Structure 1
Amino acid sequence: MDQRFSPTLKSLQDHWRPQRHLRLAPGLLAEEINDFERRHAIRLPEDFAAYLRLANGFKAAGTWDDCDDQAFQFYPLQDEYLVQSGYLKFREEVVRMDDYGICVDPDGALGSVVALYGEGRIRPIAPSFSAFIALYIADDGVLYGGGAS
């Protein structure tokens, strides 16, 4: 585990551990992450890449079989999740169908997390993946369009 992000990643693991129904996809190798970045001329933020080395989303993402207790799914790193210019979709709230993306555009707000809406509309959520994880673990209202809880 990347020591710079180990407290955040440990908190995430601790949050998921009691949810025994969750099946995490195996983490990626650094070479796989680098290849994805090269093919798409993007850069993944360091904290997000550290998360991908730990777990590449949920195994059955895209189905009801792998939702966490908050009805969220974390998606694997795949080409089809590069959506809306400069953003990589990595998570969905399946009840409201809200998508969440991380900025992967080196010329943009790299690493910022936003809610993704159609027609290029976004709503800022957090300045980094690590900050997003803190909101997610706290089940903060900002994730759902409200203010901080």
Structure 2
Amino acid sequence: MAIVEKVIDAEPQHVFAVLADGWTYSDWVVGTVHVRDVDHDWPRVGTQLHHKAGPWPFSLEDSSTVLACEPPHKLVIKAGLWPAGEAIVVFTLEPVGDGATRVRIGEDFAAGPLRWVRNKLNDLVLHQRNKETLSRLCDIAVRQKADQREPR
């Protein structure tokens, strides 16, 4: 399992708000290029977001499903990318310091061919991908927090 963490200068509810907006998924999840649809009650358990991943013209359409949701502390998603397989992705958010959040992403292949080709190179690629994913999530959460503080 690849585990990556980052401290974000935003409260857990600000970070979770980004996770709870399925339409932003392709903005911060590395490899997702387009969100096609999001179930109305996302991220309630069982709801889905429908996405495309990978470069055109090879992009694949699939869906990701919420397995567990405990706002603003935990979100577990089964991310599909068939025929390559699917992964279980666990986001945990822990308040730290004054107004900051430690966000941890744990990801592991759960089904399909990717589950059977685990090796150090795959772990390294997944680790680097999730570091960039957290960096993007951080940028969005901090920007949204700042936008809420500015007078309109």
Do these two structures clear the TM 0.5 threshold for a shared fold by scoring above it?
Answer: no
Higher helix share: 1
Query: Greater relative contact order (Cα 8 A, min sep 6): structure 1 or 2?
Result: 2
- TM-score normalised by structure 2 residue count: 0.34
* Higher strand content, 1 or 2: 2
Q: What's the TM-score, normalizing by structure 1? A: 0.34
Structure number with greater Rg is: 2
